[in-house]
């Protein structure tokens, strides 16, 4: 059974640029959630995808968008990067959404200069 | 006030000590998760519970739905238990996960 993987592991961008982060779900999981974790803080929910449809969104602006593909892998896109977007971005997959055990990937650390 | 509060924020213990981390929440929930995060970022799910108590090895998690409170206990703590422990709740209203700030645990040999 393959675990959740994310790419890249680290990324440095400058303000105003766009970034795409990728996540491959654990085998058999059809739900992917994305979280932003600033240094020293707990994760904040960005959004969740279930069977290729957005299924809930946190308090993040529209420049944070996502996609889920037929194989249940997922992308997080952030446009017009701001310094405050510097954080660890985590994805987690599950079978049944929020009330199921979440399997987290290792995260992508994004630095915006 | 945060919807999920953990205490303490930081905890230092000697190897072998019994450790308790507390989590209080103010929203209706369908489940509560305890997560472990090691330096470097990776998060592992330890428990998911909606009532009572669960045990896995040296870890025990309890929840009191009426009091909106959960505890994570570590018996016979070991330096490898050093990590950030995060409490998260699945809101019964919105469905989304709400995270606490985390408790940083250091166990000294």
**Which structure tokens are listed for A6?**
């994310």
**Subunit contact B97:A102, Cβ cutoff 8 A:** yes
**Subunit contact A56:B96, Cβ cutoff 8 A:** yes
**pLDDT on residue A97:** 65
The CA distance from B76 to B16, in Å, is 4
**DSSP SS3 for B18:** coil
Is the pLDDT at B97 greater than 90, yes or no?
no
**pLDDT on residue A2:** 63
Asked if A25 is an interface residue toward chain B (Cβ–Cβ < 8 A), one would say no
Query: Quick check: B99 and A42 in contact, CB under 8 A?
Result: yes
Residues of B in contact with A92 (CB under 8 A): 43
Residues of B in contact with A9 (CB under 8 A): none
Among the listed residues A89, A68, A69, the one whose alpha carbon sits nearest the alpha carbon of residue A78: A89
Q: For chain A, list residues with pLDDT below 70.
A: 1-2, 97-99
Q: Interface of chain B against chain A, CB under 8 Å? A: 4, 30-31, 33, 35, 40-45, 48, 50, 86, 88, 90-91, 94-102
**pLDDT on residue A98:** 62
Query: Quick check: A18 and A79 in contact, CB under 8 A?
Result: yes
What Rg, from alpha-carbon coordinates, does chain B have? 13
Query: Quick check: B38 and B102 in contact, CB under 8 A?
Result: no
**Which structure tokens are listed for B71?**
């505890």
**pLDDT on residue A96:** 72
Pure H helices in chain B = none
**pLDDT on residue A68:** 94
For A39, the closest chain B residue by CA position comes to B41
**What is the least distance, in Å, from the CA of A55 to any CA of chain B?**
10
Q: Give mean pLDDT, residues B101-108.
A: 96
**Subunit contact A99:B90, Cβ cutoff 8 A:** yes
Query: Quick check: A90 and A43 in contact, CB under 8 A?
Result: yes
The structure tokens 């369908």 sit at: B30
Query: Quick check: A34 and A55 in contact, CB under 8 A?
Result: no
**Subunit contact A106:B41, Cβ cutoff 8 A:** yes
**Subunit contact A43:B94, Cβ cutoff 8 A:** no
Structure confidence by residue, pLDDT tens digits, B17-30: 999 999 999 999 98
Among the listed residues A75, A69, A105, the one whose alpha carbon sits nearest the alpha carbon of residue A90: A105
Structure confidence by residue, pLDDT tens digits, B29-79: 989 999 999 887 789 999 999 999 999 999 999 999 999 999 999 999 999
Q: Give mean pLDDT, residues B77-83.
A: 96
Name the residue facing B41 among A45, A48, A109 (closest C-beta): A109
- Beta-sheet pairing, B103-108 with B4-7: unpaired
**Subunit contact B95:A98, Cβ cutoff 8 A:** yes
């Amino acid at each position: 059974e393959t675990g959740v993987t994310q790419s890249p592991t680290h990324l440095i961008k400058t303000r105003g640029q766009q970034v795409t982060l990728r996540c491959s779900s654990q085998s058999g999981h059809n739900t992917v959630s994305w979280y932003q974790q600033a240094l020293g803080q707990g994760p904040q929910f960005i959004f969740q995808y279930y069977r290729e449809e957005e299924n809930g969104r946190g308090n993040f602006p529209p420049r944070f968008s996502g996609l889920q593909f037929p194989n249940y892998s997922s992308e997080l896109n952030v446009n017009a990067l701001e310094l405050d977007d510097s954080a660890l971005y985590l994805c987690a997959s599950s079978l049944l959404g929020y009330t199921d055990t979440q399997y987290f990937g290792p995260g992508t650390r994004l630095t915006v200069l | 006030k945060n919807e999920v509060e953990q205490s303490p924020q930081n905890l230092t213990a000697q190897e072998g000590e019994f450790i308790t981390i507390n989590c209080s929440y103010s929203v209706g929930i369908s489940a509560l998760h305890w997560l472990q995060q090691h330096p470097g970022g990776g998060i592992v799910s330890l428990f998911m519970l909606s009532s009572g108590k669960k045990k896995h090895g040296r870890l025990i998690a309890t929840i009191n739905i009426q009091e909106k409170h959960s505890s994570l206990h570590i018996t016979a703590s070991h330096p490898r238990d050093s990590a950030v422990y995060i409490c998260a709740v699945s809101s019964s209203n919105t469905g989304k996960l709400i995270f606490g700030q985390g408790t940083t645990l250091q166990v000294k040999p």
